[in-house]
Amino acid sequence: MSEFSLKALPLAGLFSVQHKRFEDQRGHFARLFCEGSLSAFGSEFHIRQINHSCTREKGSVRGLHYQNANAPEAKLITCLRGEVWDVAVDLRPDSETFLHWHAEHLKAGDGRSLLIPAGFAHGFQTLSEDAELLYLHSADYAPEHEGGLSVNDPRLAIAWPLPVNNLSARDSSHPALDQHFAGVRL
């Protein structure tokens, strides 16, 4: 049996990853990443960068961030402490779900991760105090190729579970989409 099972989500290429947990009298063990086991993702996922965040205040939102076509990246997101409402927005203009979003409730100990393909924006809202996330990225961060979407964009109409608060200055400055937004063509 594989150490993972992948569940396809409503947006093509987006997966919920369930990690198999091994338990005994000492505690538990779970593999969070295995390149070979994630081959069902549809393309190779090489880890180029690992990030860790801790967001202290419940209701805080980080995002929505993406890398454009000059520096595309996939992400594997795992909640290590607390709970988050993790959001992915499809920015691929040729996709049937262009500008649609999907969210997953991730919480520490649930054995789940969210596998987000290149061409998506990502953000999350904390549902608890001191929420910690581990991000595995398939590409190096390239700030000159980064973009962001407004978390309150009426065109996206993301139904955040709590009032949005504690946005960074950078995240609160992301513009709403206009008719010229072409997405991320990979």
Q: Would you please indicate which residues are annotated as catalytic (active-site) residues? A: 65, 135
Alpha helices by DSSP H, the chain: 169-172
Residue 125, beta-bridge partner list: 61, 85
Q: Under DSSP, is residue 37 helix (H, G, I), strand (E, B) or coil?
A: helix
**Per-residue tokens: 28:** 């538990």
DSSP 69-104: TTS---EEEEEEESEEEEEEEE--TTSTTTT-EEEE
How far is 119 from 73, CA to CA, in rounded Å? 7
Contact status, residue 122 vs residue 77, Cβ threshold 8 Å: yes
Hey, what's the torsion of the CAs at 13, 70, 152, 87, to 10 degrees?
30
